[in-house]
Structure 1
C-alpha cells in the first residue's frame, strides 16, 4: 500500500514546546489529497485545528503557534486518502521554560581534603533546557604537566520536574585516581552554551 506519511527513522519523536516560538509536529504526507488530522493519545481525542493557534501546513506538519503547558502529552497524526486511514509515529510533546541565558552551574569536589594516593572526583553540574547543549572544559593544577593522567567523563539526562516541565542535567566529572601533592589547588569548570559561559571553581587541599 502507498505510505501516506513521509517515512521517519524512529517510531517515537520528542517535540519541545517552547512558549516563545512555534512548535512543529512534523507529520508530512506524500500526497496533497490526503486528509490529515491530529490526535491526542490520552485522553483519546482529535485536536481541532483552528487556523490561528494550531494550523496544518502540508510542507511542515501541524504547527502550534503559541505552545503552552496544556499542549504537552503524546500525539499522533492520522491520514486518510482513498484507502484505509494510516497512523503516523507518536510524538511526545514536552513543555520547556524559556532559556534563561548562560548555564547555571555548580561544582563539588569529593573529598575536598585529600591524602596522597587518595582518589578524588570533582563534579560540575548544569541544570538547563532539554534542547540546549552544554560544553564543558576544565582548568586544574596538574594540567601543564601533560603526563598527569586525569579522567573526564561528560554525560546528560532528562528529568521530569513533575509540573509538566522537563529539565536537562548535564554533568562533567574530573577524576584523579591517585592524588599527589601537586594536585592540590583550584579546580575550575567552564560551562558554555549558545547564550554564554559560566565559570565555577572549587579548591582541593592536601590533607
Structure 2
C-alpha cells in the first residue's frame, strides 16, 4: 500500500515539475521590472530606484541625457531567486535631472530584443523641456510623404505646448495634422513647404513662458531637371589656349547637388574647378566651371560632368575636346569641280569639303562678284551656298574664299555649276490658233525654234490625216 502511495506521488509530481519550469520560462521570456506602470514621474534631485530580474544576465539602456557618471549612476548586479539561478540588477540614479527624462530599458545581454522598459519623467518647473536651448539650431530634414517630428520633449506628462514658427506664428496642436506628445514632441503628419524654416516649442508654467531648443526644418529635394554644358558639341582648341567648360544643373527649390568632373588631366592635377549657386524664383541653378589655363595634346579626350543629388539621382553630360598643334585650312571639292542642277529645283546647295580651325571667314563669289549681293535667292549657310528656285541664269563659276586673317591663312576653290533646262519649242509657246488649211499642191515652210540645256535635237514627224470617204457606206 505504501509503495503504491509513493508511485502515485512520483507520477503526480513529474508533470507538476515540468509545468513549473515551463511557467518560469514563460515568466522570464523578457526581464521583469519591479514597477508595473509604463511611466513614472519623479521630482528633480530625487533618487530613482529600479530593479530588474531575468533568467540570464541583464544590462541597462539609458536615455540620451543620462551619462554613466559613477557618482550619479550606480548599477549593482547579483544572483537571486530561491536557488540563485536568476540574475538581478539594481539601478540607482541619484540627483535626477530634467535631461534624464526618457525611456529606461532592462534587457538580456545576449538577447537585446527581449527587454522591459519604463518611461521616466523628471519634472522641473524651471525646465519644462528636456533639451536645453543651444546657441545654434539643429537641422531637421523633411522627407516627401513622411511625417515630420520636432523633438521638443517635455519633463511632465501633463504639459501642453504650442509650436511657434519664427518669429511669432503660433500653431496650436489640432490632433489631426499637428499632434502633441510629451514623450516625443510635435508630429506634423503631412508637412508642406510652410513648415520649412525656424521652429521652436513654447509652454507657460506659473505664468512664465518657456521656449525649447530651436530647429531649422529643411526639405531635401533631389529632382534634377536638366544638366548641360556651355558647348553643345565637340570642343576644338589650339595648344596653349585656355579651356573653360561650364556645367550647369537646374533643380527644384531646396535641391542640393554634387557636381564632379572626369577628364584626361584629372589625376595629374591639371585644371581648377569653381562653383556657384544661384537661387531663381522657381528653381535653383548650380554652376561648376572647369578651367585648364594652357591646353596640351595630352588634354584631348572625353570630359564628363556628373551631377548627383541624394542617394540615387544621377545625371551626366559629356563633351569631346580636340587640341590642335597649329591652325589650318583644308578645302577641296566634294564630288568634282563641275556640278549640275535642274532649272525649277526648289533649292540647290554648293557645299565643298572644308576642315579648318579656328573657324574661318567664308565668302562666295559668282563669276567674280559677291554672290549674296547679286541675287536675293543666294544664301550662305556655314561654308555652303544655297540657291533657291534654281533658274538658267544661275549657271556659272562659283568661287569660295576661305581665310583666317589672324593667322594669315587663305584658300579658295572654284566650282562650275551647269543648270540643265528642259527643251522648249518657241512656236508652241506663242501660237494661240490651230493650223489652218492650205491649197493642195502649194509649197509651205514650217518653222521649229527650240531651246534647252544641253542643246536639244530636232526631229520632224508626219501624221497623215484620215480620208474623208472611209466612213461612207459602200454602194449597192
- Assess same fold via TM > 0.5: yes
Structure 2 residue runs of 5 or longer lacking an equivalent are: 1-124, 324-357, 359-476
1:27 alignment partner, one of 132, 141, 152? 152
**Alpha-carbon separation, structure 2, partners of 1:158 and 1:59:** 41
Aligned to 1:150: 271
For residue 84 of structure 1, report the CA deviation from its aligned partner.
2.0
Classify the secondary structure of the residue corresponding to 2:173: coil
Aligned to 1:201: 318
Give the structure with the larger strand fraction: 1
Name the CA shift for 1:32/1:125 in 2 (closer, same or farther; >3 Å). Answer: farther
Classify the secondary structure of the residue corresponding to 2:265: helix
1:192 alignment partner, one of 304, 308, 316? 308
1:37 alignment partner, one of 162, 187, 193? 162
- Indicate yes or no: 2:239 matched with 1:119: no
Aligned to 1:177: 293
Name the CA shift for 1:27/1:103 in 2 (closer, same or farther; >3 Å). Answer: farther
Classify the secondary structure of the residue corresponding to 1:118: coil
**Alpha-carbon separation, structure 1, partners of 2:229 and 2:128:** 51
Aligned to 1:46: 170
Name the CA shift for 1:179/1:66 in 2 (closer, same or farther; >3 Å). Answer: same
For residue 47 of structure 1, report the CA deviation from its aligned partner.
0.9
**Alpha-carbon separation, structure 1, partners of 2:141 and 2:128:** 25
8 Å Cα contact 2:141-2:220 kept in structure 1: yes
Classify the secondary structure of the residue corresponding to 1:7: coil
8 Å Cα contact 2:134-2:213 kept in structure 1: no
Give CA-to-partner distance per residue, 1:5-30, whole Å, 9 cap, x none.
30355434555545422223333334
**Alpha-carbon separation, structure 1, partners of 2:277 and 2:140:** 16
**Alpha-carbon separation, structure 1, partners of 2:256 and 2:198:** 24
* Alignment length (residue pairs): 195
RMSD: 3.7
Structure 1 residue runs of 5 or longer lacking an equivalent are: none
For residue 70 of structure 1, report the CA deviation from its aligned partner.
4.3
Q: Which has the higher contact order (CA 8 A, sep 6+)?
A: 1
Classify the secondary structure of the residue corresponding to 1:182: helix
Name the CA shift for 1:156/1:27 in 2 (closer, same or farther; >3 Å). Answer: farther
Normalization by structure 2: what TM-score?
0.34
2:228 alignment partner, one of 106, 115, 119? 106
**Alpha-carbon separation, structure 1, partners of 2:277 and 2:228:** 16
Aligned to 1:141: 264
Name the CA shift for 1:115/1:28 in 2 (closer, same or farther; >3 Å). Answer: farther
For residue 78 of structure 1, report the CA deviation from its aligned partner.
0.7
Name the CA shift for 1:96/1:188 in 2 (closer, same or farther; >3 Å). Answer: closer
8 Å Cα contact 1:23-1:63 kept in structure 2: yes
Q: Which has the larger radius of gyration?
A: 2
For residue 40 of structure 1, report the CA deviation from its aligned partner.
3.4
Give the structure with the larger helix fraction: 2
**Alpha-carbon separation, structure 1, partners of 2:250 and 2:320:** 22
8 Å Cα contact 1:130-1:158 kept in structure 2: no
